[in-house]
Structure 1
Amino acid sequence: MSVWLTAAAGLAILAFAYIRTFCPYFSDDCAYMLRSLKLGIRLIKYGKSKPFYSILECFLDAVKRQPNKIFIHFEGRAFSYGEMDLQSNKVARALQAEARLKEGDAVALFLPNEPSFVWTWLGLAKLGCPAALLNFNIRSKSLLHCFSCCGAKVLITAPASFICYYRLLFCSGETGLLVGEITRRSPFVGYAGNKQQTEKKRLYDVMKKGDLYFNTGDLLRFDHEKFIYFQDRVGDTFRWKGENVATSEVADILTLAACVLEANVYGVKVEGHEGRIGMAAVTLKEGETFDSADVYKQVVSYLPAYARPRFLRVQPSLEMTGTFKMKKVKLVEDGFNPALISDPLYFLDPDQKTYVPLTEEIHGAIAAGKMKL
């Protein structure tokens, strides 16, 4: 018996040593999978409960049990359950009286990350009004598009599911396209009012005949420890600060400036930063000089901070492909180093509130991480 116990103990020690050496995150992975499993079971239970127990009902029960307990901490202030309930009641009454809202009316929320966002949503829930939550960073055409396609009758703004499982489709080396299988438990409803864009995001017969996947457009890579990192976006978009930037939208805004004739927008790598920062090559109208103040005014007025091109390159003409599309690859490779580019370069300086000439000193400060982007 002692021999078997000794052998079992030895095998256990060997297994433990193997896991510690080759799977150092095994225990963390197991803990995460256990939490995910528990969450999935909870979601299934909530979905099957009769009658359905909503977030609003959960909140109101908490108000009854503990009205004085702190519900939200925000920038040094604290809001109790009772205070949030009172504020949401005020919102509900005001919207009912002034906006004539009734149950079923969709409302768009365009609010920053602050307590008023929560109590406004709660007020709408009390009225039975579904809320379309708009990204507070978007501006101009993007905001108009989101509001027009969400079906909302009212826009409220400030004064001034189930776990989805993803796979990587490898296209070259360690970089792969992130796709998610579309199933009953992880559906892809699509883009509101845009069937064509919805269909573009669907991939058929990916792993086997008859399956259906969602194309995220994100390129990811694995490192040697199997951690996943975002690499880039596919198509005419790039990502900066966790947000997707549509190059055509930025180009449209740049051409609003009186001096700009054409704009070719793309993203460039910055050492120490994930994703790509916005840059644009522009041509000027005949007889015009670059008006840095006007260009700055347009991008700040109509683009969210993450979409504003931080670098501009003024060229005599833009290179086109045989099908009259603007070439971007060479521009992306060139980057924004003034020592290597003869064209005039400009940098969006938020402190001076204009585009300033991009000097080697500015470039060096950015490369060294001394200048915040």
Structure 2
Amino acid sequence: MLLTLVFAALLFLVFLYSFPYFLHEFNFIYNRLWIRRRLAKCMKTNYCIIDRFLDVVKMQPNKPFVYFQDECFTYGEAEELSNKTARVFLQSGLKKGDVVALFSQNSAMFLWLWLGLAKIGCVGAFLNFNIRSKSLLHCFQVSGAKVLVAAKELEAAVEEVLPSLQKQQVSVLLLSDTCSSSGVESFTQKMDQASSAPLPPNMRSDLTLTSPAVYIYTSGTTGLPKAAVLSHAKMYLMSLVHITMGRTADEVLYISLPLYHSAAFIGVLGAIELGSTVAIRNKFSVSNFWPDCRKYKATAIVYIGETLRYLCNSPQSLSDRSHSIRRAYGNGTRPDVWREFLKRFGDIRVTEFYGATEGICSFINNGGKIGAVGRESLYYKWMNPYAFIKYDVERAELVRDSSGFCVEVAKGEPGLLVCKLTPRTVFSGYVGDLKQTESKRLHDVFKKGDQYFNSGDMLWVDNEGFVYFHDRVGHTFRWKGENVATTEVADSMSMTDCIQEANVYGVSVPGHEGRAGMAAIVLREGVTFDSTAVFKVVLNLLPAYARPLFIRVQESLDVTGTFKHQKRKLTEDGFNPSQISDPLYFLDLKEKDYVPLTLNVYDSVVKGTIKV
């Protein structure tokens, strides 16, 4: 008997040696089956994340739910405070299905607002607190919101668009005791007077898991930001994702990413599902990151690639490993940054994943393979069919064979990720934008009549089945952890009197994630480049991450036969003045101007002496 057991053990060890990722594959399949069963059960009873929140409140009302600044809010306190916000919304005349736009930096109040809306069956539209003017008005209008709730520190941004909002009879509420703007009311005063008693469940009885829950904005691949619809089913699915990565009920998750991002919001959803705790910072800060983690006794963090790079670039300290962080969940980390992060800050299990707010396919790298965003699984591909197909980047179009069907790429070759649309894998689209919604649907991909979701992302797979992110396609690039829509930036720049036309694209900067913004421009006839005026326009109309760091003045812009701007050659040219004869300029915040991009300036940017 003993020999049999020893022999079996040896066989198992040989099996594991031959298939080193078997246990990870087994765990992945188990987790996916568990999620599928959980969602199926929820679908039968329309059990939403707010129902889970209320159940957790009953089970552990005194457990900390949110740490923010120097305050701690228990689940029971969160229940009462969100009841108050719900009643303020009801007093404002909202009913089931109505939309409220939330315009605020991270705070505990942001969560009470969202929970309050969920309790009365309303939808929260999460506005990016960096946007201004035209973009802010656009994002609000496409949501169809009847109410705008804004933080006190964003009052000036609201005042810019207030006349337009008032013309549309929009109610504007400020998270402050006092309001200086005419027609703006204090949400805080109304909340102080509202009851904290529980609300009747029938207030959301008509909702199903297919009903919209929140709108999260994404720039996608073209144009102004679009409001992606997250159904209650999608939101519950998001709450389960981190659990499959190893999150536990005793975890304290530190969130410094903006809650309007799904990357951060998913952390809150996972905490509710587990009944665990989150610690929130209003805005990411390198100098406060580790002190905050120690202060709240955080055991895990959520990140984007830029987060870890900023931390690695900060001055070294004797306290670098003096923390209790054991897990990190996120995406977008370069392999060299990943290695440096582990080397400097200790034994932290980094779990990289790939996904998109509106996407229907995701990958998780539970194997710890540095650089990978996940690993292929035959089971997952069967349950959720996807493929990596050939895409002509220069022509910005799919590569099809003689029969008119798409072609899958070989191992090691970057391909466009497409995911099959089925009754189980549903793309909810964008609010009020049927054209953009339809543009994400690809038809006749592998056979006549099929439909696939276009992720807009290029990925590749190695010989071991690990999946790696390569780049985005279309008219979007990623900088400072944000997707930058080039059309929006070009439109803003063209508002300057001296610019006739602008072609915006991203260029690689050594030592930085993503691509920095650069604009090739053509000046109006007989006009010189007004650098100061352009600086003022981009400063006032664009968030920091979307402002072009470099400008290239050309006599004309290259376009395709259908008059689309050519970007590939410009991207390859980069911003090196020794290789470009056109006049180049650099965004200098100290000088408050676009200054000539000399070789000295170029060298300083490349070496990191000038921070970008």
Scaled by the length of structure 2, the TM-score of the pair is: 0.54
| 2:23 matches 1:27 | yes
Offset, 1:121: 0.9
| Bigger shift: residues 185-194 or 363-372 | 363-372
CA distance in 2, matches of 1:84, 1:351: 43
Letter in 2 for 1:334: D
Tell me the amino acid that sits aligned with residue 181 of structure 1. Answer: K
The answer (yes or no) to whether the contact 2:16–2:22 under 8 Å persists in 1 is no
Evaluate the alpha carbon distance shift between residue 261 and residue 146 of structure 1 in structure 2; reply closer, same or farther with a 3 A threshold. same
* Structure 1 residue aligned with 2:83: 89
Residues 8/323 of structure 1: CA separation in 2 closer, same or farther (3 Å cut): closer
Alpha-carbon spacing, 1:89–1:322, altered in 2? closer, same or farther (3 Å):
closer
Residues 63 and 2 of structure 1, relative CA distance in 2, 3 Å threshold: closer
SS of residue matched to 1:230 = strand
Partner residue of 1:126 out of 94, 119, 126: 119
- Ranges in structure 2 where 5+ consecutive residues have no aligned partner: 155-233, 238-359, 362-383, 392-408
Q: Find the counterpart in structure 2 of residue 329 from structure 1.
A: 568
Out of 360-369 and 67-76, give the one that drifted further. Answer: 360-369
SS of 1:186's partner is: coil
User: In 2, Cα distance between the equivalents of 1:30 and 1:369?
Assistant: 44
1:357 counterpart residue number:
596
Between 331-340 and 29-38, report the one with greater CA deviation. 29-38
Match of 1:14 in 2: 14
Q: Secondary structure at the match of 2:51?
A: helix
Match status 1:144 vs 2:99: no
Contact 1:92–1:124 (CA<8 Å) still a contact in 2? yes
Q: What SS does the corresponding residue of 2:602 show, helix, strand or coil?
A: helix
Write out aligned runs for 1:240-259 (5 A).
Answer: 240-259=479-498
| Contact 1:259–1:291, Cα closer than 8 Å, also in 2 | yes
Structure 1 range deviating more: 139-148 or 274-283: 139-148
C-alpha RMSD of the superposition: 2.9
Which of 168, 175, 192 is the equivalent residue of 2:388? 168
Task: Give CA deviations for 1:136-186 in whole Å, capped at 9, x if unaligned.
Answer: 444444433332232221122222225744432244661100111111121
Give, in whole Å, the separation in 1 of the partners of 2:149 and 2:522. Answer: 39
Residue 13 to residue 131, structure 1, CA distance change in 2 (3 Å): closer
Amino acid aligned to 1:281? A
- Which residue of structure 2 lines up, in the alignment, with residue 80 of structure 1? 74
* d(CA) in 2 for partners of 1:18, 1:364: 49
Give the direction of change, closer, same or farther, for the CA distance of 1:136–1:35 in structure 2 (3 Å limit): farther
Matched with 2:96 is 103
5+ residue gaps, structure 1, are none
Match of 1:59 among 53, 57, 61: 53
Alignment counterpart, residue 306 of structure 1, candidates 545, 554, 565? 545
* Inter-CA distance 351–200: structure 2 relative to 1 (3 Å threshold): same
Q: Report SS of the residue matched to 1:266.
A: strand
Of 37, 49, 68, which residue of structure 2 is paired with 1:41?
37
Q: Is the 8 A contact 1:230 1:274 kept in 2?
A: no
> Using the alignment, how far apart are the partners of 1:302 and 1:70 within structure 2?
40
Residues 323/152 of structure 1: CA separation in 2 closer, same or farther (3 Å cut): closer
Identify the structure with bigger relative contact order (alpha carbons < 8 Å, sequence gap 6+).
2
Q: Secondary structure at the match of 2:19?
A: helix
The verdict on how the C-alpha distance between 1:229 and 1:311 changes in structure 2, with shifts beyond 3 A counting, is farther
1:302 to partner: Cα distance:
1.9
Deviation at 1:244, TM superposition (A): 3.1
SS at match of 2:31: helix
Q: 1:63 to 1:322 in 2, by over 3 A?
A: closer
CA distance in 2, matches of 1:176, 1:37: 28
Q: In structure 2, give the amino acid aligned to 1:145.
A: H
Of the structure 1 ranges 360-369 and 35-44, higher mean CA displacement relative to structure 2 is found in: 360-369
Whole-angstrom CA distance in 2 between matches of 1:220 and 1:271 = 21
Residue from 250, 258, 280 that aligns with 2:519: 280
Asked if residue 217 in structure 1 is aligned to residue 449 in structure 2, the reply is no
SS in structure 1 of the partner of residue 432 of structure 2: coil
Mapped to 2, the partners of 1:352 and 1:201 lie a distance apart of: 42
The alpha carbon displacement at 1:54 in A equals: 3.1
Give how far 1:71 is off: 0.6
State the secondary structure of the residue aligned to 2:138: helix
Q: Distance in 1 between matches of 2:594 and 2:388?
A: 40
Q: 1:274 to 1:183 in 2, by over 3 A?
A: farther
Matches of 1:156 and 1:348, distance apart in 2: 33
The answer as to whether partners of 1:241 and 1:306 remain within 8 angstroms in 2 is yes
Question: Counterpart of 1:204?
Answer: 443
1:156 to 136, 142, 149: 149
Measure how far apart 1:249 and its partner are.
1.5
Aligned residue type for 1:124 = L
| C-alpha spacing 1:237/1:48, structure 2 compared with 1 (3 Å) | same
Q: Deviations over 1:42-89 (max 9, x none)?
A: 12212223xx33333332343344333211123454222233233323
Aligned match of 2:303: none
**Cα-to-partner distance string for 1:217-253 (whole Å, 9 max, x where unaligned):** 1112234554333322223333334443322221110
Q: Is the 8 A contact 1:230 1:275 kept in 2?
A: no
Partner in structure 2 of residue 230 of structure 1 = 469
Larger gyration radius, structure 1 or structure 2: 1
* Further displaced range: 282-291 or 214-223: 282-291
| One-letter identity of the residue aligned with 1:41 | R
CA contact (8 A) 1:232 1:276 kept: no
Number of the residue aligned with 1:292: 531
Corresponding residue for 2:231? none
The code of the aligned residue for 2:19 comes to I
> Kindly tell me: are residues 114 and 367 of structure 1, through their superposed partners in 2, closer, same or farther at Cα, counting changes over 3 Å?
same
My pick for the range that moved more, 248-257 or 345-354, is 345-354
State the partner residue of 1:344.
583
Distance 1:199 1:212 in 2: 11
- The Cα shift of 1:213 comes to 0.6
For 2:555, the equivalent position in structure 1 comes to 316
1:257 Cα offset (Å): 1.7
CA distance in 2 between counterparts of 1:123 and 1:238 reads 35
Confirm or deny that 1:260 pairs with 2:499. Answer: yes
User: Which letter maps to 1:123?
Assistant: G
